[in-house]
Amino acid sequence: MGLKRRRIKHTTSLEDRLAQFAEHMRKRADDKPIGAEKNELLKKVRNAEQALDIERQLRQPH
């Protein structure tokens, strides 16, 4: 038996979703005191921003 794929029709681009995610994580990190939890949130922000940069580079015409 095969598994059913969940197909989702995204209404926003990957670039927009990554930017929103990074902004949301940054706001959450700003509310946290210095520590491990804040560092983890900031790491997620950096990862999302790197993914956003890669997405933009891939969209550029060669």
| Per-residue pLDDT, 1 | 61
What would the two tokens of residue 5 be? 């794929």
> What's the confidence (pLDDT) of residue 21?
96
Confidence (pTM): 0.78
Which tens digits make up the pLDDT trace of 7-49?
888 899 999 999 999 999 999 999 999 999 999 999 999 999 9
**pLDDT score of 20:** 96
Q: Is 25 exposed, middle or buried (0-12, 13-18, 19+ CB in 10 A)?
A: buried
